[in-house]
Amino acid sequence: MLKKKAIICAALISSLLCAAVLSGCGENSDSKNPSDAAQESSSSAVQEGEASAEAVSQAETSQKEASKIEDDDENGPIPEIVDPTPESSGEMADGGIFVYNNVAYELFYGGETAAKEYADTISFVKKQLGDKITLYNVVVPTHVGVDLPDKFKDMCNPQDTYLNTIVKSYSADVKGVNAFNSIVHHRNEYLYFNSDHHWTALGAYYAYKTFAKAAGITPIDLKSLKSDKIEGYTGSFAYFSGRDDLKEDTVTYYYPDYDVDCKKYDDDGTNPQDYMLLHTYASGSNSYGVFLGGDVPIMVTKNSHGNGKKIAVLKESYGNAFSPFISYTYSETHLIDFRYAKIDLKSYLEKNGITDVIIINNSMASATPDRLDELRSIAGGSTVTVTTDESTDETTDTTTDDDVTYVDETVDDDNDEEYNNYNNDDYDDNDYDDYGYDDTDYENYDE
């Protein structure tokens, strides 16, 4: 379906277990174990009680938040975290997931070494692409780095410090975009899911506004977009922890009052097919798939209402909720999942007349060696050159020697009928391997 079934159990569970070693909040990560840290925080505390009933639904809250967004939303003091159950100590769940107030979090232990390695990778990509390319790098904090109450701050490493180290370590020709400040100023809004490792479209919008400011473009006003929602979402954390007490989520998506043309391509840039930017029939455990229909190697959107510019977005799954806002802004947007696309990026950009590129990663993915290897490969290791003819959408594959080993996975065509018939009882979100981390690899990143 969205990904080979082999990923669902073995690879994804392994990824989650490893991710807990890596993932956001304390000052030192040398020997810290998530379970030990949780026990230290809760040595005299009682089991977490039932969360108090919420006055309004999360979907309603998101709509109210969208209506009050101001241009100066990064100014002023950072709001305090609302702690609805101050007497609770939380608990560790299966899969290395920390649960507090019926919300799941991944703990983060990325430090200075991992931050600098990521910055070096982005600088390498910029060097490979050359002086004609303007490269923006957007790094996004994960849930645990934004609104986990301060009483748990010693459980993991601070993501603001980690992200600041990244931004300071780029080569001078990289335009760094740190989304932490804009997001943390809205930390009590519905920016991350309770039962899944992704962010919401509202969280993605704040990061998009930060990018727009850095790029000198006018962001689309969220109030000018229509919205709809998918109720009853339970995502990756619920699946891997086996917990049925996590708060259900609502997936809200935004769209303009005009159509955006969209095509998807195979991983080598061939075989264009009509596609949709938003897959509104997504449901159940695949509800995050409303954004781009999941992880597709290459998509191209064309927008007659755009700003007359072209851009490419290199992304992992966090970029799926971010990408629609870019497609609503630019006249032509190339959405490239660097984990699966088998192209020579520089040649692809040249053939399609693209000079602006965004790389977007969440902090967990940025500290994962597999993701760094994939970024380096697409920037300099592939020998596949793809030419897209704008008038016919035909492509020419000039593959020579395939000397790079790529992820041995396929992406399904995702036609409507097949998607609707999918068994949602099987969690098949093909982007959880953002964190394909191996314990032995992480030894090089311990601080």
Residue 83 pLDDT > 70, yes or no? yes
Residue 116 pLDDT > 60, yes or no? yes
Query: Which residues, 6 or more positions from 116, have their beta carbon under 8 angstroms from its beta carbon?
Result: 165, 166, 169
CA torsion 312-203-180-80 (nearest 10°) is 170
pLDDT-wise least confident of 146-160, 247-261, 345-359: 146-160
Residue 149 pLDDT > 70, yes or no? yes
Over residues 397-425, the mean pLDDT reads: 32
Residue 427 pLDDT > 60, yes or no? no
pLDDT-wise least confident of 163-172, 249-258, 303-312, 422-431: 422-431
> How far is Cα 93 from Cα 105, in angstroms, rounded to an integer?
10
Residue 43 pLDDT > 80, yes or no? no
Residue pair 175/129 in contact by the 8 Å Cβ criterion? no
Over residues 321-350, the mean pLDDT reads: 97
Which has the closest alpha carbon to 341: 429, 407, 437, 275? 407
Which amino acid, 34?
P
Cα distance from N-terminal residue to C-terminal residue, the chain: 39
Phi, psi at 391, each rounded to 5°: -80, -30
Over residues 172-188, the mean pLDDT reads: 95
Indicate the pairing of strand 310-315 with strand 298-302.
unpaired
pLDDT at 232: 96
Counting the structural domains of the chain, the total is 1
381 confidence band (pLDDT: 50, 70, 90) = low
Question: What is the chain's Cα-based Rg?
Answer: 21
Over residues 47-58, the mean pLDDT reads: 41
pLDDT at 153: 87
DSSP state of 11: I
Over residues 265-284, the mean pLDDT reads: 97
385 confidence band (pLDDT: 50, 70, 90) = very low
Mean pLDDT, the chain, integer: 78
> How far is Cα 169 from Cα 118, in angstroms, rounded to an integer?
9
Higher pLDDT, 253 or 397: 253
pLDDT-wise least confident of 33-37, 247-251, 377-381: 33-37
pLDDT at 76: 83
Matching residue, tokens 């949602």: 424
> How far is Cα 348 from Cα 31, in angstroms, rounded to an integer?
44
pLDDT at 362: 97
pLDDT at 172: 96
pTM: 0.76
Give the structural domain span for 20.
Answer: 5-445
440 confidence band (pLDDT: 50, 70, 90) = very low
Residue pair 135/87 in contact by the 8 Å Cβ criterion? no
Residue 436 pLDDT > 70, yes or no? no
Residue 399 pLDDT > 70, yes or no? no
pLDDT at 85: 86
DSSP state of 192: B
pLDDT-wise least confident of 105-114, 126-135, 278-287, 427-436: 427-436
pLDDT at 432: 45
Over residues 372-387, the mean pLDDT reads: 71
> How far is Cα 249 from Cα 265, in angstroms, rounded to an integer?
31
pLDDT at 16: 39
List residues bridging with 291 in a β-sheet. 278
Residue 391 pLDDT > 70, yes or no? no
> How far is Cα 215 from Cα 209, in angstroms, rounded to an integer?
10
